[in-house]
Amino acid sequence: MSKKVKVGIAGASGYGGGELVHLLLNHPKVAIARLSAESNAGERLSSLFPNLPDLGILEKTSSVSSWNDLDILFTALPAGMSSRIVSMLPKPHPVVIDLGPDYRFREADDFKRVYHMEHGSPETLPFSSYGLVEGNRESIAGSRYIGSPGCFPTGALLGILPFLRSGFLGKTPFIVDGKSGVSGAGRGLTVDTHYPEIAEGMKAYKPLVHRHVPEMENAMRMFVGDANQVLFVPHLMPLNRGLISTIYLPLLDHVTPDMVGAALLEYQDENPFVRIVENPPNSSHVRGTNRVDIHAVTGKGTLVVMTAIDNLVKGAAGQAIQSMNLVLGEDEMTGLPMWGGFP
Amino acid sequence: MSKKVKVGIAGASGYGGGELVHLLLNHPKVAIARLSAESNAGERLSSLFPNLPDLGILEKTSSVSSWNDLDILFTALPAGMSSRIVSMLPKPHPVVIDLGPDYRFREADDFKRVYHMEHGSPETLPFSSYGLVEGNRESIAGSRYIGSPGCFPTGALLGILPFLRSGFLGKTPFIVDGKSGVSGAGRGLTVDTHYPEIAEGMKAYKPLVHRHVPEMENAMRMFVGDANQVLFVPHLMPLNRGLISTIYLPLLDHVTPDMVGAALLEYQDENPFVRIVENPPNSSHVRGTNRVDIHAVTGKGTLVVMTAIDNLVKGAAGQAIQSMNLVLGEDEMTGLPMWGGFP
Amino acid sequence: MSKKVKVGIAGASGYGGGELVHLLLNHPKVAIARLSAESNAGERLSSLFPNLPDLGILEKTSSVSSWNDLDILFTALPAGMSSRIVSMLPKPHPVVIDLGPDYRFREADDFKRVYHMEHGSPETLPFSSYGLVEGNRESIAGSRYIGSPGCFPTGALLGILPFLRSGFLGKTPFIVDGKSGVSGAGRGLTVDTHYPEIAEGMKAYKPLVHRHVPEMENAMRMFVGDANQVLFVPHLMPLNRGLISTIYLPLLDHVTPDMVGAALLEYQDENPFVRIVENPPNSSHVRGTNRVDIHAVTGKGTLVVMTAIDNLVKGAAGQAIQSMNLVLGEDEMTGLPMWGGFP
Amino acid sequence: MSKKVKVGIAGASGYGGGELVHLLLNHPKVAIARLSAESNAGERLSSLFPNLPDLGILEKTSSVSSWNDLDILFTALPAGMSSRIVSMLPKPHPVVIDLGPDYRFREADDFKRVYHMEHGSPETLPFSSYGLVEGNRESIAGSRYIGSPGCFPTGALLGILPFLRSGFLGKTPFIVDGKSGVSGAGRGLTVDTHYPEIAEGMKAYKPLVHRHVPEMENAMRMFVGDANQVLFVPHLMPLNRGLISTIYLPLLDHVTPDMVGAALLEYQDENPFVRIVENPPNSSHVRGTNRVDIHAVTGKGTLVVMTAIDNLVKGAAGQAIQSMNLVLGEDEMTGLPMWGGFP
């Protein structure tokens, strides 16, 4: 077997980082060479993730800037940290695939406006790509910095793009009603994610003002040059993994259900992780996979698209690896689960 | 103490019927005199509901037509059954409060169009009311037949009515994205409600074509004379009790956030079970109560209203009792929980 | 109506304190006069518990020692705090009912041995009682200080005492396999109670060494004068409320199933919150109530007893109120739910 | 690549069958050639399991007796069916690996006594093995018929065998307190597994009389020649997947904690899917894997062993494949997940 690609993960103690390790253990072309954490530095990975083997002691994230022996560096860090680390990495450095927000915008000003902080290495942005493979495949393959999309934008854009690019949609705001499992809120302890506060309950949060709104609007402009506004209400739901998006889109009068179906079929043909399903998708059917299940119906001048993803796989670690596969010139499905267990 | 009102419950083996019994046990003015079931007739109530005391053997629902000793008859039966039973009841008979759909429309044709069956006693419809107390108080108080609203229409209408009647809303369709706990699907065994099929999962169902759409549209016409269309997508969520509705309404340009707030305050003042909350409501905070928690935000020409109810209380048994209280001339809150336990 | 009893709650921001408020709101003889919290002092109760009405601002727990206008003081505080507050209360002070561990032992040394701290007012212990009403009714009624049992000891003792006092049991250790919902671990944020860490999972914790072991052994000595050892393994289960105990007891040869049944019937007759059930009890059938459901089977020289309680009601706030009722000379069931909703 | 082994699955519509398909899709040495179902025959696998790809139409299980082109036949069928099918298969037929109970006993009389029906092909029992690889590796490798253990016996035996064979245990009954996720109860609709009946609840069932008791006792006799009785109480818990067993064993006086630890280390060394963990195992850490996590503590003359498995993998489909690997002469880990995702 040829020499394996060396990857490191900065921020391996969170759920995104842990899922990266889990998935990469099954990837035939890579070897996990380095892992870091912040407050958990010095602990063993298998203490933090008893679901994983003992891959050794976690380094301090501040030492990542000295990791010069890697081919790929995944960063799963709070806003601003990965771009600051990039600015300290000696050149040439590994391709950086960020699961955080630092490379989700092409302009440092956009990042600053949304995250209220300076971008750590604005000079790298011209060499970066938004890591939604379904829509940005070629750009990603040639990038040095990839901003993996947020989980909600992933679920929303996968349902919007096939129809937006087809010119099927009117100009009124798109409505995205998102429902996420609690793992999407991360591993940090908060009252909202304390078990009894959300089990047997559900609620919306940050209605209309979530940071994923500008990310969605920006991505649509980038991919289609179009500028619909997005009304987005995320909801926290009492399950671990899974994200469904119910998307209400203004359908132009001339668009028939057959045209909707044809656009979706074309999208499925182009994208190996896209699957059209006959009924509204259940998030548990994509759990553990990098797949998105899509279903669409029309009525009263509206196109309703429902998508289901695993927020930690297609919504985070999985699509980051999908981007990595493109960078490495591999088939984008390499090492990524297409089918999962149920229930 | 004065003599208690005698009530019977036809269909006491389902979740709506069981919750009726639970709530009525704590009601100071009524005594439960008769209970029926269909396939479970002959069993003890406490075998079917080990959470409840032994109130004796369930009669056969077919015998309900001979129940001539009651003041109030609650019916929690499949579509068409309660109106057929009504047609067989000797006159004068008890006031009928139906938790099923038979009295949710004022016209037998509307019922037939939606439920694909004949109404069992169309001659009684002129004496019936739609049992949404918040908006229909006086009509209910004088009715002989009350059609308690469906759980989703309850959650939706409580969020729409304060603004629709104020003339704040435009003419485009209202979007209601509903999320219900599994008890809303009833006690009958189905694949969809088999534990492993929905635990750790979530999904939409019957998008745009659910029977609650005509009920919502009909109620709005009845209350406000207005005829907006409704785009409704219900979702099944992995919890027992709770129903949240995220409602996207076209806001007229002149309506300010202050006007929205004032309309909501007025609604709260008029309706003892309505409470405005500072954050998007969590369904677990209304569990076990007849309360609705409401929160509203505006943006991009849209009013987003979020409501939370307990689908088995405010969405079923509780509001049926609220209607009964009006019929009996009692305070509408009598015997109904305003505050519940948490978590 | 006669003047209401004034109660205060020190530690109203936790789940035990919140359930106390919820239950006391429905108690016909008391008025909630004062509430305190530690880090949440200065906030409104309804902000911390959106399920509850606005009862005003929480005082600082350190000011509880000046609460001299109460009849009853409930304390729901970490180990050692309530007895220290007691030592500062001016005499005569209200009857103290502690949901924490300070009054669960009659000897200060026992408390110190288990909790590794000094008892704050050992001079009060002679006037104190262990608040398990089923077994200690008379003592509680005459006490000034009541130590409400831990949730696991409650579930275990209710299953053991009817048989231990009957002399049915051998001398080998009693095995108590306890399963608790997550609310039993409190409202403080911990990794173990972060939603994704325990949802869709389950585990034992502190096997054999939990602090509830000496409490159980001590209570058995106190009630029956007998000194069996207890092997106790608690488990954390993915639900909010509910505690079931599966108890394996050495059955003496001469004890027949009929004798077991008779002892249980007698226990049920003596104790209004005890109910024998025909099948192993489901914790969801006692949710929201002060009831314990019990079922017992025998085989291979062993008596297996299964009990189900609501850990926040019978296991905490409810039985504290049950004790209060005795102190006040009321029926012990006053204001306490015997039957709850389901599901 | 060499020619793939052809496998068929009789009973692919249940959870065990579905997990077999899921796992075998990732197995490098086999091809799924045939699938059957009973009431779902004629449907597509991907309709029954939207988590799986479209592998075609399910045949009728009654036609399995004509499947003469397979190397391995997995049967996941109700008691008695697989042995009846075996009796109809033309000779020579594929190796049969049964996930049901037909080959869990070596004597037809034992099967009859427990399952109250005749064994369908008693003449095959001498060529059969009990499929618990950890303890029966060599026998399985040479067998034509393998009875994969029940999920509870798997969890219990993996915790008992390392100590029983070491002679550490006394003669009093072993106590096995088992807790299973709901998928363990199968895909058939029952009241007990209707979502609202068990979500937010938990209960024991069939205490002391579950059919897995004779299976456990029989396996211990077979492996160690010893005949301890088992007191077994299974519990249904509100999660999908996962099975933990808390096992209370009489420890002989001379056995030290070090000896316990050494026996466990030896067991881990011999068995690649056994892992000793530092804390009581959480079932979510083995989800999706064929691993068992074990932790043991001692006290008061008792050895408490806690094991965690995924009931559908190590407890069913996974260990059936582990047996298949032995039959095929492959490494027993081939195609089986050792590490899973979390949460």
Rounded to a whole number, what is the distance in Å from the CA of D261 to chain C's nearest CA?
16
Q: What percent of chain D has pLDDT over 70?
A: 99
* β-sheet bridge partners, residue B276: B294
User: Amino acid letter at B295?
Assistant: H
What would the mean pLDDT of D3-30 be, rounded to a whole number? 97
Q: Do D196 and C283 touch (CB under 8 A)?
A: no
Q: What percent of chain B has pLDDT over 90?
A: 96
Q: Do C240 and A195 touch (CB under 8 A)?
A: yes
What would the mean pLDDT of A320-329 be, rounded to a whole number? 98
Q: Do B50 and C339 touch (CB under 8 A)?
A: no
The answer on pLDDT for A80 being more than 80 is: yes
| pLDDT tens-digit readout, C228-278 | 999 999 999 999 999 999 999 999 999 999 999 999 999 999 999 999 999
Is D5-130 a CATH 3.90.79.10 domain?
no
Rounded to a whole number, what is the distance in Å from the CA of A116 to chain D's nearest CA?
31
Rounded to a whole number, what is the distance in Å from the CA of C183 to chain D's nearest CA?
12
Q: Do C288 and B284 touch (CB under 8 A)?
A: no
The answer on pLDDT for C1 being more than 60 is: no
| pLDDT tens-digit readout, D152-200 | 999 999 999 999 999 999 999 999 999 999 999 999 999 999 999 999 9
C neighbour chains, 3+ CB pairs within 8 Å:
A, B, D
Cβ-Cβ pairs closer than 8 A, A with D, add up to 81
What would the mean pLDDT of A58-63 be, rounded to a whole number? 95
Of all helices (H) and strands (E), which one includes residue A204?
Answer: strand A203-204
Q: Do B312 and C341 touch (CB under 8 A)?
A: yes
B neighbour chains, 3+ CB pairs within 8 Å:
A, C, D
- How high is the pLDDT of residue C76? 98
CATH number of B152-311: 3.30.360.10
Q: Which residues contact A105 (CB under 8 A, 6 or more apart)?
A: A111, A114, A125, A147, A214, A215, A218
- How high is the pLDDT of residue C225? 87
Question: Chain D interface residues facing chain A, Cβ-Cβ under 8 Å?
Answer: 15, 18-19, 22-23, 25, 47, 49-53, 183, 199-200, 240-241, 277-279, 281-282, 284-289, 293, 312-313, 338-343
Mean pLDDT of chain A: 97
* Nearest-Cα residue of chain D relative to residue B48: D191
Alpha-carbon distance of B335 to D271, in angstroms, equals 62
| pLDDT tens-digit readout, B34-50 | 999 999 999 999 999 99
| pLDDT tens-digit readout, D258-310 | 999 999 999 999 999 999 999 999 999 999 999 999 999 999 999 999 999 99
Q: Do C196 and A183 touch (CB under 8 A)?
A: yes
What would the mean pLDDT of C314-335 be, rounded to a whole number? 98
Which of B45, B55, B151, B286 is flagged as catalytic? B151
Which of D99, D151, D219, D274 is flagged as catalytic? D151
* Nearest-Cα residue of chain A relative to residue C198: A195
The pLDDT-based confidence of B328 (bands split at 50, 70, 90) is very high
Range(s) of chain C covered by CATH 3.40.50.720: 5-130
* A89 token code pair: 């990495």
The pLDDT-based confidence of A59 (bands split at 50, 70, 90) is very high
Range(s) of chain B covered by CATH 3.30.360.10: 152-311
Q: Do A341 and D53 touch (CB under 8 A)?
A: no
D neighbour chains, 3+ CB pairs within 8 Å:
A, B, C
* Nearest-Cα residue of chain C relative to residue B47: C278
Task: Please tell me the pTM assigned to this model.
Answer: 0.97
* Nearest-Cα residue of chain D relative to residue A17: D342
Rounded to a whole number, what is the distance in Å from the CA of D297 to chain B's nearest CA?
32
Q: Which of the residues D202, D217, D310 would you substitute to probe the C interface, choosing the one with the greatest number of C C-beta atoms within 10 Å?
A: D202
Question: Contact at 8 Å (CB) between C225 and C218?
Answer: no
Mean pLDDT of chain C: 97
Question: Chain B interface residues facing chain C, Cβ-Cβ under 8 Å?
Answer: 15, 18-19, 22-23, 25, 47, 49-53, 183, 199-200, 240-241, 277-279, 281-282, 284-289, 293, 312-313, 338-343
B31 backbone dihedrals φ, ψ, rounded to 5°: -125, 135
* β-sheet bridge partners, residue D10: D36, D75
Q: What percent of chain B has pLDDT over 70?
A: 99
Alpha-carbon distance of D326 to D142, in angstroms, equals 8
- How high is the pLDDT of residue C242? 98
Cβ-Cβ pairs closer than 8 A, B with D, add up to 54
Which residues from chain B sit within 8 angstroms of residue D15, using beta carbons?
A: 196
* B329 token code pair: 């001339």
| pLDDT tens-digit readout, A82-97 | 999 999 998 889 999 9
Q: Which of the residues C13, C25, C43, C51 would you substitute to probe the B interface, choosing the one with the greatest number of B C-beta atoms within 10 Å?
A: C51
Would the ipTM clear 0.90, i.e. be above it? yes
- Nearest of B75, B89, B3 to residue B317 by alpha carbon: B75
D20 backbone dihedrals φ, ψ, rounded to 5°: -60, -50
The answer on pLDDT for B227 being more than 80 is: no
A189, A238, A239 member nearest C194 (Cβ): A189
The answer on pLDDT for A269 being more than 80 is: yes
Which residues from chain C sit within 8 angstroms of residue A200, using beta carbons?
A: 239-240
The answer on pLDDT for D87 being more than 90 is: yes
- Nearest of A151, A78, A125, A100 to residue A314 by alpha carbon: A151
* Nearest-Cα residue of chain A relative to residue B178: A177
Question: Contact at 8 Å (CB) between A298 and A251?
Answer: yes
Going across the sheet that includes D128-130, the strands are D59-60, D30-37, D5-10, D72-75, D95-98, D145-147, D128-130
Q: Do D193 and B198 touch (CB under 8 A)?
A: no
Q: Which residues contact B238 (CB under 8 A, 6 or more apart)?
A: A237, A238, A239, B182, B198, B199, B200, B201, B202, D195, D199
* Nearest-Cα residue of chain A relative to residue B180: A202
Of all helices (H) and strands (E), which one includes residue B297?
Answer: strand B292-299
D195, D200, D238 member nearest B194 (Cβ): D195
Which residues from chain C sit within 8 angstroms of residue D203, using beta carbons?
A: 244, 279-283, 308
- How high is the pLDDT of residue C227? 74
Q: Do D285 and A50 touch (CB under 8 A)?
A: yes
Torsion angle (degrees, nearest 10) of CA B133, B137, B140, B141: 130
The pLDDT-based confidence of D225 (bands split at 50, 70, 90) is confident
Rounded to a whole number, what is the distance in Å from the CA of C136 to chain A's nearest CA?
32
Alpha-carbon distance of C163 to C179, in angstroms, equals 21
| pLDDT tens-digit readout, A109-158 | 999 999 999 999 999 999 999 999 999 999 999 999 999 999 999 999 99
- How high is the pLDDT of residue B172? 96
Alpha-carbon distance of D231 to D208, in angstroms, equals 6
* B21 token code pair: 């019994």
- Nearest of B262, B53, B207, A176 to residue C291 by alpha carbon: B53
The pLDDT-based confidence of C41 (bands split at 50, 70, 90) is very high
Alpha-carbon distance of D5 to D106, in angstroms, equals 28
* Nearest-Cα residue of chain D relative to residue B190: D189
Cβ-Cβ pairs closer than 8 A, B with C, add up to 80
Q: Do B51 and C200 touch (CB under 8 A)?
A: no
Rounded to a whole number, what is the distance in Å from the CA of D125 to chain A's nearest CA?
32
- Angle in degrees, 0-180, between the axes of helices C151-164 and C257-270, rounded to the nearest 10: 120
Q: Do D203 and C301 touch (CB under 8 A)?
A: no
| pLDDT tens-digit readout, C181-195 | 999 999 999 999 999
Mean pLDDT of chain D: 97
Alpha-carbon distance of A177 to A159, in angstroms, equals 12
What would the mean pLDDT of B84-93 be, rounded to a whole number? 93
Question: Contact at 8 Å (CB) between D8 and D68?
Answer: no
What would the mean pLDDT of D31-44 be, rounded to a whole number? 96
Alpha-carbon distance of A179 to B234, in angstroms, equals 13
- How high is the pLDDT of residue D68? 84
The answer on pLDDT for B68 being more than 90 is: no
- Point out the residues of C that are catalytic: 151
The pLDDT-based confidence of C226 (bands split at 50, 70, 90) is confident
Rounded to a whole number, what is the distance in Å from the CA of A210 to chain B's nearest CA?
13
Q: Do B304 and A237 touch (CB under 8 A)?
A: no
The answer on pLDDT for C339 being more than 60 is: yes
Rounded to a whole number, what is the distance in Å from the CA of A329 to chain B's nearest CA?
35
